[in-house]
Amino acid sequence: MILGHIGARKGSKGVPRKNFRMMQGKPLIDWSLDQLLEHPMVDAVVVSTDDEEIHDHAITKGCLKIGLRPAHLATDTAGKWGVWQHALEASERLIGPVEAFLDLDCTSPLRLPEDITAALELFRAERPDMVMSCCEARKNPYFNLVEPDATGALHVSKPLPGGVVARQQAPVVYEHAASTYVVDPAYLKRSKGLWEGRVIPYLMPPERCVDIDTPFDFRLVEFLMQEAMP
């Protein structure tokens, strides 16, 4: 049993009500929600939200009916982990035990269906606590990420003996891409956060990892989706 999940909070300071804002002819959430509902490996889908319109929209499309999320999980400071735990518990009361908890971030609509398949297959092959979508970071803390010291002078964030004079010499660093996650339900239930267990990367190209957090991001994703459409 694979449970697909999307978290869609009502509030958003960067882009007001972005999760239900129209993107290329349909609400932003539907670009991810439709991928879950149509994917042959996903058995059930749930949307965790504090927005009655999004909740009713999800139920109409065939998602599990778990009600609105609790108020303490609908604040600016509420993290993914608590939302995931609540959604899993509420869903298992309806459908029974779950083998894998698959979360798609609805603010990252550029993933492809094959990304979902590949992430699930990686989870089944490696049996980690979690598979997390990543892309190779554009900036590297061993080479071109810097931070000031107490005097204001800049230094490489993670210096190595002898220094790094070319990016190719620096250790590989990945960027956590808020797109696609596959979580072992037992790990989700017993842990307090993402990093307590064995978390492995599912690598995606950076052009499919753009996350909408600002009006500029929204315009950028809209442009990239227009480019990709036949």
- Kindly tell me if the per-residue pLDDT of 168 is higher than 90: no
- Global confidence as pTM: 0.92
Instruction: State the CB neighbour count (10 A cutoff) for residue 1.
Output: 14
Q: Which pLDDT band, with edges at 50, 70 and 90, does 14 fall under? A: low
Q: Are 23 and 109 in contact (CB under 8 A)?
A: yes
The answer to whether 3 and 43 are in contact (CB under 8 A) is yes
Q: Are 4 and 42 in contact (CB under 8 A)?
A: yes
User: What does the pLDDT average to over 152-169?
Assistant: 90
Judge whether 174 and 144 are in contact, CB under 8 Å.
no
Tell me the per-residue pLDDT of 84-104, one tens digit each, with 9 for 90 and over.
999 999 999 999 999 999 999
Overall average pLDDT of the 184-190 stretch: 98
Q: Is the pLDDT of residue 13 over 80?
A: no
- Pick from 30-34, 71-75, 171-175: least confident: 71-75
**Residue-wise pLDDT tens digits, 105-136:** 999 999 999 999 999 999 999 999 999 999 99
pLDDT reading at 167 higher than 90: no
Structure token digits, residue 140: 């590297």
Share in percent of the chain as helix, strand, coil (round to 5): 35, 20, 40
Nearest residue to 119 (alpha-carbon basis) of 108, 128, 106, 110 = 128
Q: Say how far apart CA 125 and CA 140 lie, in whole Å.
A: 30
With H, G, I as helix, E, B as strand and everything else as coil, classify residue 154: strand
pLDDT of residue 67: 96
Does position 6 have pLDDT exceeding 90, yes or no?
yes
pLDDT of amino acid 163: 85
Q: In this predicted structure, what is the pLDDT of residue 75? A: 82
pLDDT digit string, tens, across residues 28-68: 999 999 999 999 999 999 999 999 999 999 999 999 999 99
| Average pLDDT of the chain to the nearest whole number | 94
Q: How far is residue 197's CA from residue 191's CA, in Å, rounded to a whole number? A: 8
